[in-house]
Structure 1
Amino acid sequence: MTDNKSTTTDSSQTAGAEKSKGAGNDALAKRGVLKLNFKDDKTLYACYMPFVKGCGIFVPTEDDYQLGDEVFLLATLPADSGKFAVSAKVMWLNPKQKLGKRVPGIGVQILGRDAEKMRDKIEEILGKKVKSPLPTATM
């Protein structure tokens, strides 16, 4: 049986991103299923990583991951404007200890054919905000 835990971060940058991860054993925890529900475009902007080839998303979490870990991401974009179930690889780590306004979590690179589709949909939602100088969860 798999236990599900769900958390919502209270950071001003990622407050609308709800995350849950299924965990049954250490192997599953390393290849966890991450679920993100973006409440609004401000939260999506904070978690979007446009500098990542294909598509990158920041996932707020205090769970342990290593660079290169593979995960499965279920993401719902704001106002139900899109849902994606995609494989991803951890390529960014924000430490568990808060550093300034940085939220603990991981950045993942979306793998496969859906990466470009997801990027296009996110950039359609964000519009000109993609090039905004406002801080994000990673930069």
Structure 2
Amino acid sequence: MPEQNVASQSGIVRLDVADRAELCAAYMPFVTNGGLFVKQQYLTQTTYDMGADVFLLMHLVEQNERLPVAGKVVWVTPRNTGSQRPAGIGVQFAAQDGGATQQRLETLLAGMLENRRTSYTM
């Protein structure tokens, strides 16, 4: 599965999502307004705490589409937990966009969420 390419600076995370399979594994439909998991290894040296504000500059490579997304950290999977889940953070999309990001991603993932077998969170 292709990896996320992320560069991070001061709460701004540049996230290149290669394809729908990667997006499906990272998407968090159970979070109010939707959310996305970002693997820790791509957050460089930055550490995020619960509730921290994050701004994602998401590039959906397969669609050649860029989505600027404001959000906050609502999920943290620390390193060395002994689980098979990758370390990283889950970012809840801000309510200010009126659900537009959630709707766009769920449209792209139509038919995939119900049958997904792998997820970075649950």
Structure 2-normalised TM-score?
Answer: 0.86
Counterpart in the other structure of 1:5: none
CA RMSD of aligned residues (A): 1.8
Say whether residues 1:40 and 2:19 are aligned partners. Answer: yes
What is the aligned-residue identity percentage?
A: 31
Q: Is the 8 A contact 2:71 2:93 kept in 1?
A: yes
What's the CA shift string for 1:42-71, capped at 9, x where partnerless? Answer: 100010000011120001114421100111
1:17 is the counterpart of 2:4 = yes
Runs in 1 of length 4+ with deviation above 6 angstroms? none
Structure 2 unaligned regions, length at least 5 = none
Partner secondary structure for residue 30 of structure 2: coil
Unaligned runs of 5+ in 1: 1-11, 23-27
Aligned to 1:123: 106
Secondary structure of the 2:23 match is: helix
Q: Could you say which residue in structure 1 is the equivalent of 2:69?
A: 86
Residue 109 of structure 1 aligns with an amino acid whose one-letter code is Q
Change (3 A) 1:43 1:98: farther
- Count of matched residue positions in the alignment of Structure 1 and Structure 2: 118
TM-score, normalising length: structure 1:
0.76
The higher relative CO (CA closer than 8 Å, separation ≥ 6) is in 2
Distance in 2 (CA, whole Å) between partners of 1:82 and 1:116 is 17
